[in-house]
Every structure is written in C-alpha cells, then in structure tokens.
C-alpha cells in the first residue's frame, strides 16, 4: 500500500505541514484542540513518518524510554537507578523524558508511539486517558506503568493508604494523641496524588483508635523541603502543638526535622517524625519511615518490559510491592 504522506495528514486535519511537524516533534507547543485534530488524522490515515517506518521495519531500536514527572526528587532518582541498573546487561540504552506540565505529558503520550525510536516505554506516576492508551496499543509500543494502573498494561504499585495506616499505628503505639500531617497541596493534574492517599490511610488509623485529626493539624503546601519546614513551624506555633508528625515523603520529613532543630525541639522526646519512601538519606539522619521498594520497582518494570519484548503474548501482570515500617531515631 502507498505510504501516507505528511501532506495528506495536513489536508485531512485542515492545518499546515508545519503544524503537523510541530505536533510530532514539539507537541506541547500546539494548542490542545489543534493537536487533537492532527492526531486524529494521523490515527485515521495510519500515518508513520518515513524515518520511523524504516526503523519499524528493522524492529529493533535499542532504546527504552522512561516518561516521568519530578525526576529530580529523591524517590524518582532511586526508581530511575533501578531502571538503569536493570538495563546495564541488556542491549538497550535509556532515554528519559521529563514531564513538567499536562501539555508536555499529553504531547509525549501522543507523539512517542508514532515518532520516537523506542522498543518499550516505562511510565512513572503519570495518569493518562483511554485515547492515549489506545494509541500506545495501536502503534504496538510495549509499555509498563509504575504507580498507576490501566488495562491492559502491566503495572507495579504500592498501597499508599496502607502506608499511611502503618505510620498512624506506629505513632499511636508510641502513645501519641496529638498527631499531625505534612503533605502536598496544589499538585498538578498530570501527577499521581499519593500524598492524599497516604493522608487518608493515616486518618483511618487514627480514627480507628478514637483519635481525631483536626484540620489545623493538617499542613499542606507545594512539595519541597522548605515548604515542609514552614508548615512544621506553623504546626509548632499552635496553642497545643502536635507531639508527632507524619510527612508524606522523606523529603518533606527533612524539612520538619529542620524546623524542630531551629526551635530546639527535642526529637523524638518532644516531637516524633515519620517519613515515607526510605530514600538514601533517611538512614543517615536516623529517620523513621515507611519503606517502599523504589529501586526494585524500577528493576521489576524493566523485567516485565523485556519479557514482553521477547514474547508479546505474555499476559500483563499487576504487581503490588510491600511496604514496611523502618524504625530509627526520630520516632
């Protein structure tokens, strides 16, 4: 069959050739309605760029892509380390695509299956809709998800609510009744809201023991150590300050510890602190935390992906990794 050309796509979508090119190469620079129209034309016509068509004929690009937000945060760095280590002895190189807006996420989800020379894709902590899922399937880009599930892709997840319950039960077991939470606010719509789920589990554990989590004990701010430090100061300024804080991440727990140090609040005698993740620095600062297997999640994602590349008939797998409480000096 004759190959569909970019001119036909442009005519079908009612746009210029330059607009089609931008959708394929810099999709975040095209408004959503126009991008959707161009992608619909690409899907209808079965358009594949010439270079990509030649690469598909070879059926081996030698690259695994990782699509991830917040890739400089410690938890994402550890996940990426797991991916990179798992690919060390493979013939594949790693390509990382950073998502910092919903437009960039949607653009990558639209263009990667069509234009990027990838054998497989790992998507970390990014929800996406059915249209994006269908495009991945139509273009046969093998994909594994971390921290998100959607049929029919393989996925690796943890139970964030269960992690929040673990933190609450730990603090209750230490006799704490005034328990606070430091977590995320104003999370972008393209990200997974794990902080909210961890707060729900924490609240459930406290409520089961008859302990109320008052609104002024919940301090939410955009994710950063500094914002967590400021939030902790606000909590400690209350007429009846909390005696324990559960932070939605180790990164935020570090901000809480700094605020306590600035006020000469004794840890854990006057304030117990629990984090979440168990990233590298947690052991060095003696942080009690909820450990999730970050590196392992990256390694497992690669294992699942490579297995599907070897045998596409393998059924998808949905793996739930365990959480454990790691007791150290802060609680």
Tell me, what CATH number does 175's domain have?
Answer: 3.40.50.2300
* The pLDDT of residue 11 is above 80: yes
Tell me, what CATH number does 12's domain have?
Answer: 1.10.260.40
Give me the sign of the Cα torsion angle 37, 40, 45, 51: positive
The reply to whether 153 and 164 lie within a common domain is: no
The reply to whether 240 and 302 lie within a common domain is: no
At residue 50 the predicted structure's pLDDT band, cuts being 50, 70 and 90, is low
pLDDT for the residue numbered 109 = 86
The model's pLDDT over 74-105, given as tens digits with 9 standing for 90+, comes to 899 999 999 999 999 889 999 999 888 888 88
At residue 45 the predicted structure's pLDDT band, cuts being 50, 70 and 90, is confident
pLDDT for the residue numbered 60 = 57
Closest C-alpha among 250, 196, 195 to residue 77: 250
Per the structure, how many domains does the chain have?
Answer: 3
* The pLDDT of residue 320 is above 80: yes
At residue 157 the predicted structure's pLDDT band, cuts being 50, 70 and 90, is very high
Q: Decide: 158 and 138 in contact? Cβ < 8 Å.
A: no
Domain for residue 196, yes or no? yes
pLDDT for the residue numbered 28 = 75
The reply to whether 264 and 307 lie within a common domain is: no
Domain for residue 331, yes or no? no
pLDDT for the residue numbered 221 = 96
At residue 47 the predicted structure's pLDDT band, cuts being 50, 70 and 90, is confident
* The pLDDT of residue 274 is above 60: yes
* The pLDDT of residue 207 is above 90: yes
Closest C-alpha among 211, 252, 219 to residue 238: 219
Peptide bond into 152 cis (omega under 30): yes
Q: Cα dist. 273→3, 90, 97, 144, 253 in Å?
A: 61, 41, 34, 34, 7
φ and ψ of 145, to 5 deg:
-110, 140
* Average model confidence (pLDDT) across the chain: 91
* The pLDDT of residue 275 is above 60: yes
Domain for residue 9, yes or no? yes
The reply to whether 223 and 248 lie within a common domain is: yes
Task: Write the DSSP symbol of residue 325.
Answer: E
The reply to whether 192 and 249 lie within a common domain is: yes
C-alpha to C-alpha distance for 267 and 249, rounded to whole angstroms: 18
* The pLDDT of residue 61 is above 80: no
C-alpha to C-alpha distance for 205 and 329, rounded to whole angstroms: 22
pLDDT for the residue numbered 249 = 97
C-alpha to C-alpha distance for 2 and 125, rounded to whole angstroms: 39
Residue-number span of the structural domain to which 103 is assigned: 58-157+297-321
């Amino acid at each position: 069959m004759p190959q569909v050309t970019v001119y036909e796509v442009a005519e079908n979508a009612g746009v210029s050739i330059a607009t089609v090119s931008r959708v394929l190469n810099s999709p975040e620079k095209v408004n959503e309605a126009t991008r959707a129209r161009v992608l619909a034309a690409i899907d209808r016509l079965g358009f594949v760029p010439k270079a990509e068509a030649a690469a598909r004929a070879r059926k081996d690009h030698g690259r695994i892509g990782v699509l991830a937000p917040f890739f400089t945060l410690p938890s994402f760095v550890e996940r990426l380390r797991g991916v990179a280590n798992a690919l060390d002895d493979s013939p594949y190189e790693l390509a990382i695509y950073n998502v910092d807006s919903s437009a960039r996420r949607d653009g990558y989800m639209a263009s990667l299956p069509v234009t990027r020379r990838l054998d497989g894709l790992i998507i970390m902590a990014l929800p996406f809709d059915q249209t994006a899922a269908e495009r991945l399937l139509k273009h046969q880009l093998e994909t594994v998800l971390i921290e998100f599930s959607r049929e029919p892709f393989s996925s690796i997840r943890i139970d964030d609510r269960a992690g929040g319950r673990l933190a609450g039960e730990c603090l209750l077991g230490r006799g704490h009744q005034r328990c606070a939470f430091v977590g995320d606010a104003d999370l972008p719509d393209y990200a997974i809201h794990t902080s909210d789920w961890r707060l729900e589990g924490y609240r459930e554990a406290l409520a089961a023991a008859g302990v109320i989590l008052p609104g002024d004990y919940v301090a939410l701010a955009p994710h950063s150590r500094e914002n967590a430090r400021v939030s902790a100061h606000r909590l400690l300024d209350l007429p009846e300050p909390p005696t324990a804080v559960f932070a939605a991440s180790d990164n935020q727990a570090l901000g809480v510890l700094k605020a306590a140090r600035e006020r000469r609040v004794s840890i854990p005698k006057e304030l117990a602190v629990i984090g979440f993740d168990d990233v590298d620095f947690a052991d060095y600062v003696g942080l009690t935390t909820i450990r999730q297997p970050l590196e392992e999640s990256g390694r497992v994602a690669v294992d699942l992906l490579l297995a599907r590349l070897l045998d596409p008939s393998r059924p998808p797998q949905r793996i739930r990794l365990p959480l454990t409480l790691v007791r150290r000096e802060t609680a």
